[in-house]
Structure 1
Amino acid sequence: MTTADDIHALFQQIDHTPWGAEERELTARAVAMAVELGDEDLEYRARMRQTSSANQGGDTTLLLSSFAWCLAKHDADPTRFPSDIGNGGADLMWHFKWMASTLRASPEFSTEQIQAVLDDMEAHFRAEGLGLSAVAMARFEDAWGSGRLAEAEERRLVLEATPRDDHSHCDACGRSQLVGYFADTDRDADAIRLVEEMIEGGFGCGEEPEHALARSLLPFLRAGRFADAKRAHLRSYRLARDNADNLGMVATNIVFAAITGNEARALAMVERHVRWLAHDALNVAGHARALRSFGVALDAVTRSGHGTSVVRGADAAELVRFFGEHDGPWTAAELAPIAWAKAAEIGARFDARNSTTAFADVWARDRQVAELRFDVPILSEAFTPEPAALVPQTAAERFTRAIELSDWGDAAGALTALQAALDDNDPKHAADLHGLMVGALLACDRQDDTSPHLAAYAAASRADGHDELAGLIEDLGLTLFGVEGESSVSRMMQAAETAVSPGVRAVTLSGIASAYLRDGKVQDALDMAKLSHEAFVLHGDREDIVDALANIAFYAGIAGDTAAARAAADAGLEMPEASQGQRASLLEIRGRIRGGEGEFVAGAADADEASRLIALIGATWGAARVSVLAGAMYEDAGMPSEAAARYRVTLRQVERDGDDTSAVRFRLARALLSSGNAGEAAELLSAVHEEEAAADAPPASRAETVALLAEAFEVDEQYGNAVGAWGYAADLFEQAESVTGRAHALSMQGRILGQFGETEESVTLLEQAIDLARQEPDNVVLLSRSLHLLAQTLGAVGDERALSVLDETERLAVEHDAPWLLADVTDSRARALGAMGRLDDAIAAALRAADGYDAESDTESAGGAELFAARVLAGSDRLDEAVSIYRSLLARPLAGTPVHQVGALELGNLLTALGRHGEAAEVRAALNE
């Protein structure tokens, strides 16, 4: 039986659960339990929580009903049902702020009803003795959202003159609303200023800064600040994409993708979010906004030449009320005008309600926006055109397609193609087709369906005059295909020894090889494949010889005999008789061998060519495997942009096949990060982690994802997110019982905190990392790096403990013959000594470090050490010595690097201060060359 204590315990759980599905379920349960108990006091507290939950989740119907129930109870007895229930959440008067905007979002509510809510809100605020800032904001938002722009400007001025109070919008939300208003009224500079204030001040709340960032996209683009626009888009969309209540800000991000040359991304976003239209029946204004964005996106997709692309998800049953009935999936070109028309229809209802032309004006404005073009490439998604596959029109073409798919190994595709070719009833191909059909059925685990084709294979072979082969098929049946493993070898061996025709002997030996492979006897299988090849050579059928070479290459690769595998693949590829399917198979094998031997670019080229051939023959099986192989080898070759292009192809293939995309997107994110696209990598990795978390993936897998996400955040200068991600990664590594991973994550977290002056916390984390690293004595790199980072953190604040830590790090460098690390430790010692005021020692150490870097051909680091020494000398008024060191730095082959440019600027300033203006002019002139 439910008790009050049960409900109070549930309240505690709700108040410590993040917004989302779990929190909504808990809140609904609390309401139901209170109703069951018949306790209105507890029901009030449960419904107050439910109002906030519904607002966060975009359940407008529940939001209105829950608020109305609570307000009625409060008005009837404010003492029993207080405005603030003391749970640290929004109180009833705060809930009032959501009401007018909620009613305004649906044309079903009249202007009079909205104004009544605003008046009621003001009356309640006055009665409660509250300030009127929230009321002023609500009236401003109503005027702006309804298109009464002259009134909105007046209301904005009133808002700015109204003192802020505890019920005012927070700093983030207040600024965000004004960003949107300024952007809508073409005051881009004001919009950008407010967004920058938000970011620099770290202002945020439930849906900020993602909303403000979305609103700033067009202002940034129109101002020519493309890098800022891209960063705002990536961050906004990453934060907004998982909550259907964020439909409006997602729509703004879709438009951004469409007008910045990222049509494939825009289409993917439409597909990802199109079903959100059905999420909240009362958010009709959001529907109009989303539909306009879909129109912009799909028109852009069509203009880019991809109008025939299917918009996946748009044919869902719940979307019929938006798009109407349609025969089959919608294409981009078909759906675009439908989306525009539906948006116009909805807008007309709002304009009739508001007695303005606001929605018609916005519709026309978005039409103009759709014509804008900015070049802001985002590489995480792209259209991946493939060669047009063979579409067989004749019996000869159908036979060729069946052979190609069989040769490649696409058993499922081959079954359909083989049947189509068999339907042509050409007797001269019957034996080949029935034989391949048996193999394809076995590969698809359909052994029971092989009997008629096995019989037809024998009959057709006899009709072709191959009586010995026919007899072999009739005698051995499926044994000839190796399905029984080694137990059938003796029968086939006897048949091979008595065979008259080399061709029959070759077929039998090939079956023996398959039987051995089935039992895991790879070397025996390889030996039989070589004998089969010799027999096929005697037989003289060139296409069979290619098959035999492909078998040798395959078996040798499994056996680890890469020389034999490569020789067989090379020989097969040199034969003009090789089909496209055979060539694809041989290229994949050779590509893998080349990759294993360090020939990454050549191996990737083989995989690329195999991918092209696979597409040409219309195969789907194995396509993703080969394209990801190409990407992996380009990564290994240090060509991440090329790798990313292949991973994008792989991603589309995996999506087409309906398989899990997480692994491919992780690879794509890693390649994007390596190629300098950290923001895009962070977006992908965030999505991968969310999917892994939802699927309850092993902690080790999630830890690797979060660790790479932390790297991406740091490179993208999202340092706060990076610190949090490293901490989370450390926890996941601990769950995975990975001492090394946890130590690395803690050291990275400590390093960032140390860089931002959080020395005490940094030292604590780095000491934990060192303790863990000592548990892995063979991992000297982990220990030395953790020690070095601790020394740098301590040294930066002049803590003498840094020197003893550096001593230990130096001993490790010497003991393990790591001269570059020794130079780097010496450089860190110089900087620590400088922070301690031991300037002569610091200068000497810096110059020793420069010599050490030079010995390892690291000229740029050597220049950095000299720059430090020169600065210390200049700061000590040893100006002539400083000039000498600066000149040594500039003599290095570092032109164009940051250290060279900074050194030249500082030397020019120093020479000017010394009155040596001619020399200063020469240095500056050289810098400008």
Structure 2
Amino acid sequence: MATAPHPQSTDELFHALRENHRLPYGRTRTVTAEELVDAAERFAEPVPLVHALLELQEAYTYGSDPRKSPVVFARLLTLFDEQPEAFDERLRAQLFWRFKWVANALRALPEIPLASLRQWLTEMRDRYEKEGLGLQPYYGQAYQLAVHVGEDAALAYELWAGRRRTPHSDCEACEICERALYRVAAGDDERALEVWAPVLAGKESCQEEPARSVSHALLPLLRTGHADRARELHLAGYRACRRNPSMAGEVGRHLEFCALTGNEARGLELLAENRNLFDEVDSPLDQLDFLTGVEVLLRRVEGLGHGELPVAGYAGRAWTVAGLCAEVRGRGDGLAARFDTRNGTSAHSGRRTARLDRAPLLDALELALRARSLDELAPGDAAGAAGAAGAAGAAGAAGARDARGAAVAASGSRAAAAVPEELPELIVRARELDEEGHPDARACWARLRDLVAARDYTHPEDPAVGPYGRLCADLLSDEAYRTAERGDHASAVDLHEEAAGLYEDAGATDDVVLAKACALLAAAEVPGEDGEEEAEVKAAGLADAHAAVVRLQEEASGLAPYVEGRLLRLRASALGVRLQTSGDPAHAAVVFAEADLLQEFATRHGLTTQVSGAMLLRAGTYALSGDLPAAVAEIDALRDRLAADGPAWHLPRALGLRGRLQFGLRDAAAAHADLAEGLRLAAAWPAEAVDTSRLHADLAQACLYLGRPDEALTQLTRSAEVDLRDGKRVDAFCTYINVAQLCLDHGRIEDSIALLDSLLGEPDVTGGELDDRLVAQLRLLRARALHAGDDLKAATAEFVALAAESAGWGDDPGSHAMIAAETAMVLGEAGEFDRAGEVAERALAAHALAPRYELISNCLRELARLRAQQQGPDGLAAALAHLDEAGRVAEAARAAGFQPVGRSLETALAYEHGRVHAYVGAYEDALAALEKALGLLGEPGAEEGGAGEWAECVRLAGAVEGIYLERPAPALVRLDAAVARLTALGHLEECEPLASLAAQLRDEG
């Protein structure tokens, strides 16, 4: 653990104390505070020691270490008695404020006799009276002791709540919480929520509020029918207390809330995230509160039949739900008994029993976008979900997959495929389904893979089954298709080639040809080397693969029709992917020719799967060629054919393509209808057999076009879940990133943060197995969401960490420039301008390697604005230095021919000069800069865009001129002319602030 340097002077000591005060509460801050007390004692001066002791007591208090807090306070009180002159008014106020901290700490320790607690309150009262301080804080502590002990608290409440607050009273937020809890205890949830309203709305807050109030208000909100509000507060409130030892009780109540709303799986996830609380909470009272919430959750999970699920618990051993529940029950009962023995009542055992016996309040409440069930947390499912990662296969892999008719495991929306019990029958059935291209073949191969891997496997002596080597080749071939689906084409090549060798040894000549053909196509999909023109190289490779497959087919003789059909489909797919890769319309004709050849052959031999494949390929080729009506006509013909002749599992894919074509025809409603119907039919088949993930993603796009963002979020989340179940973790994480961004764009900030927190807690993320740049993208989005949610401290910490890490991305200076620029702006917003300047310099250095003109200009201008706004005239020189640097960036951008998305960088710079000078009171300079900006912007036109920026510039110029320079007449001329012009152009919304300012100037005139 890092320790503080030993201060050599009191100035260094005070600096170290300030730095330590910035750290989060926990062991690091506490140990450093202890060392700083030791250092302060060496100076033989009372004032530095008082400051150090106050910092140490705070670290103990909010680090959940109540045993040590009273000891430190005793030293402070002794110093006050012996050297009162060392305590100025502020230190004296802090000292008497903290009598309440000691009272809270003593209540939390069952080994402290009740008489000692009452004696301490008497000491507090005597001290307050001696100092001439009001007694409301004393009566507040007396009330809290009465509640803790379980006495009749009504009189104590009146003696406290009826008194006027004093400067030493608990903050408004804390007192509101106590008054609300009094109402809850009386059974009046409605009145409690009325009392809580200012805190729950964020109007009153402190160190522990509103997180403490939120945790207590969750169940009253449910009981009074405000489930949506409870959900909203759970997301925000949990984030404020997670992993915090001093708020372990609040975490316990969030776990209880999950258990009582049908969110047991989320509760277990949150428990895992807070496993540190089992060992880091030193307050027995907080332990009791936390463990009771944990037990509510675990009892519920065990009662639902999942007692054997693994669960996070005390360090040193692996826990199941049932095992941890028993452990927690024993510890919780013991703590409650200790408090009741000390207090001489049964209050704590009674409250604990009431919580444990509470029935669920709702069957199901969707708390998070990433909703899971307990079944999905089963050990086998969890292992499977975390076991594979990789990108999705490209269109070529889809073509090969369709040629073989492979499918992946069921998505959970369909009953599992019927798998024969007898081994010979199972092998034969798997091959039959495979020839047909039936999705259920995959389930048979999966069962066979398990059987063959068993130590006692014996291959049947049955001519219908064939030799063991052929079965091994079948399994390798199936694995090759699944590997290609995950985007690992190089491995798929190896698997297909190994399968071809085994087929050859087994004398299965048809399968040898097919395996070699699949290997050729997979090899053409392997990504090229760095520096190659990848699209060109890939297109050429696909053409070569097509030619090689043609030669293979021509050289073979006596192939079974289903093998001929697959080879024809592979040939057509190779050319189809080449067209998609190159985008060259000249490549379309040969695709149509191959598709026609496939369709004619498949029709003649009754290969319905390949007939459908040929028509799908034709429709896709029409679409790539730009003939969308012809593509729709082809799909409509296919839909009719599938309805009559099958195969039924192609219908969802056909409807999916039809929906995408409707997008191209700008008919989002029709696209939505096709995709929704496709998803309905997809429920009958394994997810990957019908590309359920793609259907959900496309339906989400349709929902966005139709203005249904909530429905879009649901569909995107389901798309990611399907990919997760199929082991496509990178695809799933990328989709979840889109979900989180969409939440952010539509103001669902807490949903975004909760989703990102869940993703960042995944084992392959915490274990460093997921691509580090993808993880950085998750963290960057989380930092932006925290900033949008006004959690500036947490956002700043995440941005700073990301900026430090991205500095090492030598292969990607542009991303570092972006992250560093955003970090500098957030640091500036937090008032840390020295650090902001350092990070901005790093952003500029990265920008020199990979220019990001607009981003860097925005950063420098924002830092200038923030300095002027926060520091006034004292910050002008530094602000102008930032603007000078932004001017050099604008010159370089102009020289490089860079075109910004909106206004020019010179225009933005002139406008910022105006704002900066206005903030520091240099109004003539501000007006001149704004006039320059208006000249650069030019007059607005009728088109959308630009009018808002022009209007804002006019408004600011009018305010500077009319209000601060006290020249209302020319300001009104400016404003009236702007209003008239904007009105004539139809920009009525942009007129409103200008008209409002003009009215203000006329009223004041």
Normalised-by-shorter TM-score class? 0.5 to 0.7
Relative distance call for 1:635 and 1:293 in structure 2 (3 A) is farther
Match of 1:860 in 2: none
Relative distance call for 1:319 and 1:134 in structure 2 (3 A) is farther
TM-score normalised according to structure 2 size: 0.61
The 8 Å contact of residues 279 and 315 in structure 2, kept in 1 or not, is answered as: no
Tell me how far apart the structure 1 counterparts of residues 168 and 514 of structure 2 sit (CA, whole Å): 87
SS in 2 for 1:4: coil
Task: Confirm or deny that 1:138 pairs with 2:141.
Answer: yes
SS in 1 for 2:105: helix
Tell me how far apart the structure 1 counterparts of residues 972 and 442 of structure 2 sit (CA, whole Å): 65
Relative distance call for 1:127 and 1:412 in structure 2 (3 A) is farther
Q: Residue 353 of structure 1: which of 342, 350, 353 is its match?
A: 342
Pairing 1:821-832 to 2, within 5 Å after superposition? 821=987, 823-824=988-989
SS in 2 for 1:275: coil
Match of 1:754 in 2: none
Task: Confirm or deny that 1:168 pairs with 2:194.
Answer: no
Pairing 1:338-417 to 2, within 5 Å after superposition? 343-344=332-333, 346-366=335-355, 370=359, 386-394=412-420, 416=446
Identical residues among aligned pairs (%): 17
Q: Deviations over 1:700-734 (max 9, x none)?
A: 856874787589xxxxxxxxxxxxx9x96997999
Match of 2:696 in 1: 627
Pairing 1:446-525 to 2, within 5 Å after superposition? 446=491, 447-458=493-504, 463=508, 469=510, 472=513, 478-479=519-520, 481-483=522-524, 485=541, 491-495=548-552, 504=564, 507=567, 510=570, 513-514=573-574, 517=577, 520-521=581-582
SS in 2 for 1:393: coil
TM-score normalised according to structure 1 size: 0.65
Match of 2:881 in 1: none
The 8 Å contact of residues 688 and 705 in structure 1, kept in 2 or not, is answered as: no
Relative distance call for 1:761 and 1:521 in structure 2 (3 A) is closer
Task: Confirm or deny that 1:784 pairs with 2:790.
Answer: no
Task: Confirm or deny that 1:51 pairs with 2:57.
Answer: yes
Letter of the structure 2 residue corresponding to residue 537 of structure 1? Q
Tell me how far apart the structure 2 counterparts of residues 525 and 73 of structure 1 sit (CA, whole Å): 85
Relative distance call for 1:404 and 1:97 in structure 2 (3 A) is farther
Relative distance call for 1:213 and 1:166 in structure 2 (3 A) is same
Match of 1:638 in 2: 707
Segment drifting more, 772-781 vs 344-353: 772-781
Match of 1:102 in 2: 105
Once the two structures are TM-superposed, the CA of residue 699 in structure 1 deviates from its matched residue by: 10
Letter of the structure 1 residue corresponding to residue 671 of structure 2? G
Q: Deviations over 1:206-229 (max 9, x none)?
A: 122332344445556666777876
Segment drifting more, 659-668 vs 585-594: 659-668
Pairing 1:195-274 to 2, within 5 Å after superposition? 195-196=196-197, 202-217=203-218, 236-237=237-238, 239-241=240-242, 243-253=244-254, 263=263, 267=267, 271=271
Tell me how far apart the structure 1 counterparts of residues 663 and 255 of structure 2 sit (CA, whole Å): 39
Match of 1:599 in 2: 667
Task: Confirm or deny that 1:543 pairs with 2:609.
Answer: yes
Relative distance call for 1:11 and 1:514 in structure 2 (3 A) is farther
The 8 Å contact of residues 580 and 617 in structure 1, kept in 2 or not, is answered as: no
Tell me how far apart the structure 1 counterparts of residues 228 and 514 of structure 2 sit (CA, whole Å): 68
Task: Confirm or deny that 1:667 pairs with 2:727.
Answer: no
Tell me how far apart the structure 1 counterparts of residues 368 and 521 of structure 2 sit (CA, whole Å): 50
Letter of the structure 2 residue corresponding to residue 682 of structure 1? I
Tell me how far apart the structure 2 counterparts of residues 654 and 8 of structure 1 sit (CA, whole Å): 58
Q: Which has the higher contact order (CA 8 A, sep 6+)?
A: 2
Match of 2:981 in 1: 811
Once the two structures are TM-superposed, the CA of residue 199 in structure 1 deviates from its matched residue by: 6.9
The 8 Å contact of residues 706 and 728 in structure 1, kept in 2 or not, is answered as: no
Relative distance call for 1:283 and 1:589 in structure 2 (3 A) is farther
Once the two structures are TM-superposed, the CA of residue 354 in structure 1 deviates from its matched residue by: 2.0
Pairing 1:736-775 to 2, within 5 Å after superposition? 737-738=854-855
Which runs of no fewer than 5 residues in structure 1 stay unpaired?
712-724, 750-759, 839-929
Once the two structures are TM-superposed, the CA of residue 355 in structure 1 deviates from its matched residue by: 1.6
Tell me how far apart the structure 2 counterparts of residues 689 and 81 of structure 1 sit (CA, whole Å): 51
Match of 2:390 in 1: none
SS in 2 for 1:318: coil
Pairing 1:411-450 to 2, within 5 Å after superposition? 416=446, 419=449, 427=465, 435-441=477-483, 444=488, 445-446=490-491, 447-450=493-496
Tell me how far apart the structure 2 counterparts of residues 237 and 596 of structure 1 sit (CA, whole Å): 43
Tell me how far apart the structure 2 counterparts of residues 169 and 696 of structure 1 sit (CA, whole Å): 41
Segment drifting more, 829-838 vs 167-176: 829-838
Once the two structures are TM-superposed, the CA of residue 285 in structure 1 deviates from its matched residue by: 3.4
The 8 Å contact of residues 195 and 212 in structure 1, kept in 2 or not, is answered as: yes
Once the two structures are TM-superposed, the CA of residue 25 in structure 1 deviates from its matched residue by: 3.5
Once the two structures are TM-superposed, the CA of residue 176 in structure 1 deviates from its matched residue by: 2.2
Tell me how far apart the structure 2 counterparts of residues 48 and 3 of structure 1 sit (CA, whole Å): 18
Pairing 1:849-928 to 2, within 5 Å after superposition? none
Tell me how far apart the structure 1 counterparts of residues 370 and 438 of structure 2 sit (CA, whole Å): 28
Q: Residue 534 of structure 1: which of 570, 573, 596 is its match?
A: 596
Tell me how far apart the structure 2 counterparts of residues 605 and 440 of structure 1 sit (CA, whole Å): 31
Tell me how far apart the structure 1 counterparts of residues 600 and 154 of structure 2 sit (CA, whole Å): 92
Task: Confirm or deny that 1:682 pairs with 2:749.
Answer: yes
Letter of the structure 2 residue corresponding to residue 53 of structure 1? A
Letter of the structure 2 residue corresponding to residue 811 of structure 1? R
Letter of the structure 2 residue corresponding to residue 536 of structure 1? L
Q: Deviations over 1:69-103 (max 9, x none)?
A: 46347637866899869998994554442233334
SS in 2 for 1:348: helix
Tell me how far apart the structure 1 counterparts of residues 305 and 973 of structure 2 sit (CA, whole Å): 67
The 8 Å contact of residues 370 and 717 in structure 2, kept in 1 or not, is answered as: yes
Tell me how far apart the structure 2 counterparts of residues 741 and 554 of structure 1 sit (CA, whole Å): 43
Q: Deviations over 1:77-135 (max 9, x none)?
A: 86689986999899455444223333433545543554455456557667877655444
SS in 1 for 2:68: helix
Letter of the structure 1 residue corresponding to residue 176 of structure 2? R
The 8 Å contact of residues 258 and 300 in structure 1, kept in 2 or not, is answered as: yes
Letter of the structure 1 residue corresponding to residue 661 of structure 2? I
Tell me how far apart the structure 1 counterparts of residues 296 and 512 of structure 2 sit (CA, whole Å): 67
SS in 2 for 1:180: helix
The 8 Å contact of residues 272 and 311 in structure 2, kept in 1 or not, is answered as: no
Tell me how far apart the structure 2 counterparts of residues 130 and 606 of structure 1 sit (CA, whole Å): 74
Tell me how far apart the structure 2 counterparts of residues 82 and 181 of structure 1 sit (CA, whole Å): 41
Pairing 1:681-720 to 2, within 5 Å after superposition? 681-687=748-754, 697=777, 701=781, 705=785
Tell me how far apart the structure 2 counterparts of residues 417 and 99 of structure 1 sit (CA, whole Å): 64
Relative distance call for 1:301 and 1:569 in structure 2 (3 A) is farther
Relative distance call for 1:43 and 1:744 in structure 2 (3 A) is closer
The 8 Å contact of residues 271 and 312 in structure 2, kept in 1 or not, is answered as: no
The 8 Å contact of residues 513 and 525 in structure 1, kept in 2 or not, is answered as: no
Tell me how far apart the structure 2 counterparts of residues 6 and 692 of structure 1 sit (CA, whole Å): 46
Tell me how far apart the structure 1 counterparts of residues 933 and 758 of structure 2 sit (CA, whole Å): 30
Tell me how far apart the structure 2 counterparts of residues 81 and 654 of structure 1 sit (CA, whole Å): 68
Letter of the structure 2 residue corresponding to residue 316 of structure 1? A
The 8 Å contact of residues 215 and 252 in structure 1, kept in 2 or not, is answered as: yes
Tell me how far apart the structure 2 counterparts of residues 404 and 54 of structure 1 sit (CA, whole Å): 67
